[in-house]
Structure 1
């Protein structure tokens, strides 16, 4: 049959590429890191200015590895917010979904560096803009058209950010989008550290993969106040006692397909729903600053999973990214690019 004169052929559109490989949701900040490594905090003479906040760090780290990333956070109408947005643009992270919240302040973090094991840190998050993320802010982001979304535990501490986080998980789950959760426990952000676990356990049925440190796993199941020791409000990692293995099983029973425990130089372990675990050995490096290593791990791990890599290879990639960052003095600004991470793995025993 002849086509009518002037008629245009119709083409069935092919599958549309995802809007983003990864959307991260939650806090952002300007990070001021001591330039005087080893100096006691009162003796610091200058700071370097960087960008930070766990979801921001993961968005930048994943972008440097080659993923298309967007960050859903919020900033205040201030110069710190301008700093954060401009640095994100330079990194190639999509910022169009980041609202400015009137009457709030962009967050800040100040960090001293006293190797090998002292990193006094102060968070300035009073009236934080990113804690004001709303359900409407989530609706403006193309979660359903993306491959994965990453959420964080700190965002559960206050409303309206808590509801926005749950809503983002619901939107992703309904669309078949992979949900990653960084347990991301900061004791000073909670009126009661046990409230953190209440919120995390409520969110886990909507999560595909969660990851955190041994302390964060214990925090997520914390019930007795005597099991947590906060040595100082400005120390980033409190001591949290508990049975890590039993708590892993309890958290997996809430629904996620996998729970990844980050163990620093000892590597990481991927615990799977239904039993079984995969161990990925770590890398021996000289530690300068531990802050940001877990976020670099998350970026490398998520990169691997979105490449279709198995649990072991993904965790090994995460370990490599974390190992690189602990040799440096910052978070997002110091995460590795893909070529560097792969070369590091190759030079240190391979996958």
Structure 2
């Protein structure tokens, strides 16, 4: 049996809460994550399932009224929750980088793209020379290199352009260049193909896959698209209403989904092979995260529900390296 390497990122029992006037919203509730070196983990689920908040928690960028209430977050053996804000800033960008959903709003419209890449390099790149002119010259050379790496033509000239002077796909590439400027060990890509046409989506995803190989980094790919997950990810984690409901090797989960929610997501995807057959959407909506009852959170939308599902349902081993949160599934040896 081949031993798996120790996780680069290991999260246990993560709970992130938003205190609102209406009550406490458990946006992330008891989430466990393991991302191994060089691995690509896909994270899927409907809007409101807690995907982005989970990894914003990992990055330490959840804003008030949200806060992490419980759980441990370890990166490369370091307890991130024990770090001071100043120490955490040294981790973000240098060791863990994150790209946001909308490049146009994530990039600063008042700064050139060159200035935005240089900002990251000045903050985190310890290889830059100390002397001011030499430091700037070396940083500009690295900024050009990064733009070339992500496929921006005439990179030296484009450093002087502002975000609005680029197309949507090129802005996404620039945001990836900023994220990868210091060669992080882990890239968290949050919906990197939002609002892009199909051909540009494919280019951006191929770019991330290529950078993963070239830089030897791990990737977390947050997406709604199970087709993207099946093509690019080694493992998949399915989230619903702030909890993980199924996780395991991508091929196994997509080929034989065990949780009713995963089955519903796959059943909602139009396929050429299903021509003439209706698409079966999941009825209802993601529940309000305030005042949730102690039961399976998918209960109201599940066609397979039982009375026993009104109890708290824990994750259980359901196959080789597979876990799911469903009482109908027989537990097996891990």
TM-score by length of 2: 0.35
Greater share of strand = 2
Between 1 and 2, higher relative CO (CA 8 Å, sep ≥ 6) is seen in 2
